[in-house]
Structure 1
Amino acid sequence: MNALFITIAAILLAWITLWLARVLWRGVRHDSEIEHHAVNTAVLRDQLLELEQDHANGILTSDDLADAQQELQQRVLHESIPGQTGRLGRAPGKRSAIALSFTLPVAAVFTYLAIGNPAAMSPPPVQNVPMLTQADVQTMVDSLTARLASNPDDPAGWLMLARSHRYFNNYDDAAMAFSKADGVIETDPLALAEYAETLARLKPEGFRGEPTQLLEQALSIDPQEPFALTLAGAAALERQDHHAAIKYWQQLLSMLPPDSEAAQIVGSSIERALREQAETAISKN
């Protein structure tokens, strides 16, 4: 990975974590910034031109052209959606601040590794390709929304729309779209974890209830899903179950290269959870 990128990202992540934790400590809601990734428009332009040429030559009918354009827009939209920099819950108070400070760095790392594009940190130096703007992505989201309105029996489309709304911090709309993607997310542990986090952002009680049930379902499908393990630890910490939080994060740590930055972040979170567990035990005696 590019050393300059890692340095800047680490500084920004630390600053955001401290700021959000401070706001939560005071009992005020907060919203995180999500890193915006762009999409290569040159490929999109060429493929759209090819489709139009095939239509002009009589190879594609008008209906086939419309369907192909929608599929191309969906693929480009899917590639444009970045990893979520997991902000954990919205339940105000000191416990949420502590949980946030433990888990935000971990969630950011693992969400990016799961969904992001690490190779983009070191792009070929000779290319200078125009990129889609956020407005272009929003246009594709609007197109997908319109298509699903007329053809709602498309779980994969609803999942894509849910992730798109998360991209724009529209968590109410994201939760609605996730609820209509049952046929897909029931077997997708990452999607279940994303749905759980979306609900936790919206619910005053945070991860309690349905979000925790979704995380348990995700881990029953894949006990080694990194984002689900990260959020499960956050949910346990939120309910002051330090033992469970430490267990989830130790399992996560065992999956990481020992000298990696992610392992250091997880290890630090475990150490802090152990200290808080000890302090809680002392205060009860």
Structure 2
Amino acid sequence: MLDFWLSAGLLLLAALAFMLIPLLRGRRAQAVEDRTALNVALYQERLAELTAQQTAGTLSAEQFETGKAEAARELLADTEGRGALHSSNLGKVIPLLAALAVPALGFGLYLHWGGSQQVELARAYESTPRTLEEMTERLEQTVKVQPEAAEAWYFLGRAYMAQERYADAAAAFGKAADLADRPAEVLGQLAQAQFFAGNRQWTPEIQSLTDEALRADPQEGTSLGLLGIGAYEAGRYAEAIGYWQRLLAGLPADDAARQPIESGIERAKAKVLEAGGTLPAEPVMASNTPALKVRVELAPALRDQVQPGDSLFVFAKAASGPPMPLAVKRLTVADLPVEVSLSDADAMMPQLKISGFAQIQLTARISRAGNATAGEWMGKVPPVANDEAALQTIVIDSPDAH
């Protein structure tokens, strides 16, 4: 900020110069005026002396006129070139008050409407933070200066979670959710922060948040993982297995997060067997289970209007039946063009499978907010039979009508 204040100081000096120079000129004019008045007074005294001498008879009329002309010449010589005298009604007080008021008023207006905090924030982000605490401080400053920045609130929540400041994280995620129209990913993070802030106690509010997240995105990972944890800690081991298996189904084969989830599933299975229960069926696609093959492409006209990180949802719905998707795959725009398959193994609910409905509607949607139910662009094909073997090509080329 030093260079900014130096520049402001120079501009202030220039402004003061315009205000004070007329005042200084006024003082010089006053000095000229005083000297002229003195010369006039001396001239008048000289005339009085000449008149007295003429009256006394010591000067002749000719000598009187000569002396008078001499005094007049001296007066003209002293005042010649000084120009006309200008009078001003401003005086000294008004220019001085204006010189003081202008910088004070300018500083006040800048503090109210200026961008000093934004300038300081931009400078802070010029260097890479060295610690998590430093990054947290920057994010806190960001949301203070830009309270409507949903992404800043979200990343601040993530920073708080890394520091185990769960209550602060819940507040930050709550702000991000409200500002960003409650996307599924943020709702899942909010539910998780509330869960840990409440000493791992499951509450109706947490259940409501995870339900809302999964309605928007049935494969929202944080919510599925959290529901599995909640079910496991409540002793509902079979339910925990179901949530974690759904979570695994949406993860890439080489994802590092698979290992701890698989370990959790194995522990839950052991608990079920210890209690004498039976394990839930593995969500493995049987060899005779139909799979709909889908290729998704992006229309060339939209390539400049999407971002690589935008969420891509490919889902199958019953052409005539429940409105919720039967199967969903989540990717990103960076994966396009891409080929996926949708089958009963991808079912969101065991009782709602592709094989249970004769006609299936295949749709692809791009959502910047990560919302499976509403986005910016979409594409679909006419309904197909649930056992259609031919590759179906979806071109995303239309605004999403939700």
TM-score, normalisation: structure 2:
0.36
TM-score, normalisation: structure 1:
0.48
Structure having greater relative contact order (Cα 8 Å, sep ≥ 6): 1
Q: From the two aligned structures, give the one with the greater strand fraction.
A: 2
Q: From the two aligned structures, give the one with the greater helix fraction.
A: 1
